[in-house]
Structures are given as C-alpha cells and as structure tokens.
Amino acid sequence: MMLLYSGAACPFSQRCRIVLHEKGMDFEIKDIDPTEKADDIAAMNPYSQLPILVERELTLYESNIINEYIDERFPHPQLMPADPVMRARARLFLHNFERDLFSHLNDVVNGTPKAAEKARMIVRDNLTQIAPIFNKQKYMLGDEYSMLDVAIAPLLWRLDHYGIQMPKQATPLLKYAERLFTRPAFIEALTPIEKAMRK
C-alpha cells in the first residue's frame, strides 16, 4: 500500500492527495507537522519537504514526480496525456507553473510585507494571463481533466487565503476553479485546515 506523508496545509501535498483520490485505490495518508517531525522528514527527503511517497523500497519526493509515478502505476483514469508530444507539453506546463506561480508562494506566506505584496501581484498577473483559455475549453488541456488541473487547483483554492485579489478579466479562470472544486476527489482530499481556508 502506498503511504503519503502529507502536510495538512501544504499545497504540494494536496496535489498528491487529489491524485490518490482520483485513482480510487488503496492508500494511507499520514498528516505530519513539519516543525515537529523535521528529523523524520529529513531522513526521507534531503530537502526536508513534504509530500513524500513511500511504497515498499521506493521513496519519492516532489509532488509532480510523485503524481507521475502514481499515474503510471495506476493508469485509470489517466491524468497525463498518452501521446508523447502532448505529455512533453504537459510537463512543460507543469514546469512553468512551478516557476511562474508556485515559486512565489514562499514570499506570499513568509516574506516581508513588501516582498509578499510583490509576489501576490506576480501570481495574480500570471494567472490572469491564462484566464482567456477557459472561454474556449473546460480544462487546461481541453475537455479532459488532467494533471495540469490537479497541479494548479491547490493554488486556486488558496487565492483568498493568500490575499490574492483577481481582476474582473480573470472571471473565466475563477469559473474553471469552481469546476475543479466540485470534483469528488478534490473534496475528499481536503483536510480540515484546507476547508477552513475558504468560507
């Protein structure tokens, strides 16, 4: 059985919880407080970060790597595109999400007021740029729910929590976010702390 060491408020852990629930397989999720269990986490991940997936002799970290492994081990429903060209594009999107969006979250949460405000503006502007695609399609890659939707959903869930105010032209993105939030796997994957982030 797969065991996921997860942070109850961690957006990267939430990604992995969503994928596990989408697959509907047997797994165990162990919520860990990173401040209390720092030594345990460091023993499994040299970067001392959650999430961490353990299955038999295998230990994985980095949410996108974990999720691709789960997707390949349990291919139904398939979340990464089957076509190699589309799969490469999906990986590029995931890489861009990390650089353009998620890399700024540490400043939003832990930065000085000035750094946090700058990071909020960067995230807001980058999200607003992708909003128009949802005038034409249901999900990131078209009509099919994919790993890209999984990857961005935790950020969209936390916009209010992070104090990121989206402009009117981002309305298609916010409607897309509501579609993600109604998926049963998304709801099942929420921790009590995450539920409290949106009233």
* Band (82; pLDDT cuts 50, 70, 90): very high
Q: What is the pLDDT of residue 25?
A: 87
Q: What is the pLDDT of residue 36?
A: 82
Domain ranges of the chain: 2-77+190-195, 84-183
CATH number for the domain formed by residue range(s) 2-77+190-195: 3.40.30.10
Question: What integer is the mean pLDDT of 167-189?
Answer: 98
Closest CA to 59 of 71, 46, 72: 46
Q: What is the pLDDT of residue 38?
A: 86
Supply the pTM of this predicted model: 0.96
What's the mean pLDDT when you consider all of the chain? 96
pLDDT tens-place string over residues 49-73: 999 999 999 999 999 999 999 999 9
Give me 67's structure tokens: 């999720």
pLDDT score of 191 more than 80: yes
pLDDT tens-place string over residues 107-149: 999 999 999 999 999 999 999 999 999 999 999 999 999 999 9
pLDDT score of 199 more than 80: no
Q: Which of 10-14, 30-34, 38-42 has the highest mean pLDDT?
A: 10-14
Distance from C-alpha of 136 to C-alpha of 56, rounded to nearest angstrom: 43
Q: Match domain 84-183 to its CATH number in 1.20.1050.10, 1.20.120.530, 3.30.499.10, 1.10.287.10.
A: 1.20.1050.10
pLDDT score of 35 more than 90: no
Instruction: Assign 52 to helix, strand or coil.
Output: strand
Q: What is the DSSP letter of 196?
A: T
Question: What integer is the mean pLDDT of 3-32?
Answer: 96
Q: Label residue 117 exposed, middle or buried (CB < 10 Å: 0-12, 13-18, 19+).
A: middle
Instruction: Assign 151 to helix, strand or coil.
Output: helix
3-state helix, strand, coil in the chain (%, to 5): 60, 10, 30
Q: What percent of the chain has pLDDT over 70?
A: 100
Q: Where are the beta strands (DSSP E) in 19-148?
A: 27-31, 52-55, 58-61
